[in-house]
Amino acid sequence: MAIVAVSIAPGGEGASVGAYVAEAIRVLEAQDAVRWELGPMFTTLEGDLDAIFALIRTMQEAVFAKGAARVATVIKVDDRRDKDVTMAGKVASVEASLRRDT
């Protein structure tokens, strides 16, 4: 299972791009194969890497369909093969370390 951070934004559409980001998020809302969490700068996806990449492509197309002439996408992939990891598990690991350090 992979965990992927993705940021998709139109270029040249002004300072406020929330309406374009909302179109990308609608793609995620319409599916149930990949878990996701919206963050202030990135959206985190969890699931099969091929499914995630296909979703990212569909998210980009949704931003283009909204009227963007250019779309910039940043992707960060954590594809761990030695054990199962989840978004919640990664956060819990850091929180456990914080508790041990105090």
Boundaries of domain holding 84: 2-100
Mean pLDDT of 32-48: 97
What's the CA gap between 19 and 14, in Å, rounded?
Answer: 11
Share of the chain above pLDDT 90, in %: 86
Of 69, 80, 96, nearest in space to 9 by CA: 69
pLDDT band at residue 100 under the 50/70/90 scheme: confident
CATH number of the domain to which 61 belongs: 3.30.70.930
- Per the structure, the count of domains in the chain is 1
Per-residue pLDDT at 63: 97
